[in-house]
Structure 1
Amino acid sequence: MGIREDAFDLLACDGDAVRTRFNEFVSRHGVTSDRGRAGTEVAADADRGDRDDLPALTERDRRLIDRVRLLDTAPIGVTLCGPAYRDTPILYANRTFRDRTGYSLAELRGRNPRLLQGPRTDPAAVAKLREAVSIWEAVTVDVWNHRRDGTPFLNRVSLRPLRGDDGTITHWAAVQAAVQAAVEGPTERIGDAER
C-alpha cells in the first residue's frame, strides 16, 4: 500500500484499530509526531487529545480530527471536511497542508476547500471533484491550487467519503501531494475505475 491508502485506512478504521493502523503507518512511512515520538504514545495522546479548541463538534468529528492530528507531520497534506449538505467545511487540516498552502488552521476551519482555487484552476478538474462528492465516490484528480499568497501549485487530490457506524457518509477526507507539472500527467479516478 502507498502512503495515501494507508492514511485513508487510518482515517476510516474502527476505533479499536486506530493504534494498530497508526503503528503500521509509522513503520511503513517513518512518520513521527511533532514531539518526536511515534506509535503508541502518539495514539494515546489522540485518545485524550487537546480538543477544547474545537467547539460545536460531534464526538465523531473530534475522533476523526484526532486521527488527522496523528498525521500532522506526514509528507502529505490531509484534510477532514464536514458533511456536503453544509458546504463541506474544513474541520481540520494537518500541519503539512497548512505549511504547503500558507493558511493557518483558523483561516481554514469552517471554509470550503474551494478557497484554494484561483486563476490557474481548471474548471474541469473542479467539476470532477464536485461529481465525486455528488455521487458519494472516491476520486483522485490533479488540480492547480493556489497558496494563500496566490502562488499556484499542482496538487494531486485524493478525496474519499468516510462512513459512520450506520454506513452513511458523515465526512470527507482528502489527501494532497504537490506534483511536478512536467513530470506527471493528470490523473482522474472515480471510485475504483480509472478514467
Structure 2
Amino acid sequence: MTLRRDVLAAIDADSGAFHDRFETLVDEHDLGAASIPTESRRPDGRTDREARLVDRVRAFDDAPLGLTLTGPAYRDTPIVYVNRWFRERTGYALDDLQERNPRLFQAPDVDPGVRADFREALSTWSEVSVEVRNRCRDGTAFSNRVTLRPLFGDAGTVTHWVAAQEPEPIEGPDADSE
C-alpha cells in the first residue's frame, strides 16, 4: 500500500524532509486532524533521537494503519511506542506494550517461515514485509500485513525499527478468543 510505504519513508527522513512528507501525506490521504506534535515526552533515559522518532510516529496516531517503534534487536526489540490507531484496534494500552517484544501480538499458529523472515531481517538489518496472524488483547485473531524497516543512526548502525501494520479481521471460527 502506498500509505504504508510513504509513512515509513517519512519517519526515516531527515528533519526538513519529514515535515514536507508529513504535510503531503496529510493532504493526499485525508488524515484530517493529524499534526506534528510540538512537545516531546522524554521519559528518563530516552535519547533525543528516540524522542524525535516517537514524535514522528505519534504524528500518525490516527492514520489508518498501525505503527510500532521498537528499540534495537540486540535488546530483544522492545516496544517504545505504538500509535493510537493500532492500540485501539488491538485493545492494548501503551503502558501494557512498552518494553515488551512485539511477539506478544503473534497468534500461536504463526507460520514458522514468517518467523524466519523476521529473524533474517533483524539479523541482516534489512526491510521485510510479511503476512502474519496476530491476536488482539482479547484474543480476537486478525491477519496482518507487516512491513518492518530498520532505522539507522549517525554511526550507520540500527538504533530502532519501525513497523507498519495493516490488520484485517479474520472471519469464522479462528476469530474466537483463545
> Common fold, TM-score beyond 0.5?
yes
Give the structure 2 partner of residue 149 of structure 1: 138
Deviation at 1:165, TM superposition (A): 2.5
Give the structure 2 partner of residue 168 of structure 1: 157
Give the structure 2 partner of residue 49 of structure 1: 39
Give the structure 2 partner of residue 65 of structure 1: 54
Spell out structure 1 runs of 4+ moving beyond 3 A. Answer: 179-182
Gaps of 5+ in 1: 183-195
List aligned pairs for 1:5-16, cutoff 5 A.
Answer: 5-16=5-16
1:120–1:152 contact (8 Å) kept in structure 2? no
Give 3-state SS (helix, strand or coil) of 1:179's partner: strand
Deviation at 1:159, TM superposition (A): 0.3
Give the structure 2 partner of residue 118 of structure 1: 107
Gaps of 5+ in 2: 172-178
Give the structure 2 partner of residue 29 of structure 1: 29
Amino acid in structure 2 at the alignment position of 1:51: R
Give 3-state SS (helix, strand or coil) of 1:107's partner: helix
Give 3-state SS (helix, strand or coil) of 2:7's partner: helix
Looking at structure 2, the residues matched to 138 and 50 of structure 1 have their Cα atoms a distance apart, in angstroms, of: 27
Number of matched pairs:
171
Amino acid in structure 2 at the alignment position of 1:49: E
Deviation at 1:10, TM superposition (A): 1.1
Please report the TM-score for the alignment, with normalisation by the length of structure 1: 0.82
Q: Percent identity?
A: 50
Deviation at 1:126, TM superposition (A): 1.6
User: Which residue, 91, 108, 117 being the options, matches 1:102?
Assistant: 91
Looking at structure 2, the residues matched to 138 and 181 of structure 1 have their Cα atoms a distance apart, in angstroms, of: 26
Cα RMSD over matched residues? Answer: 1.7
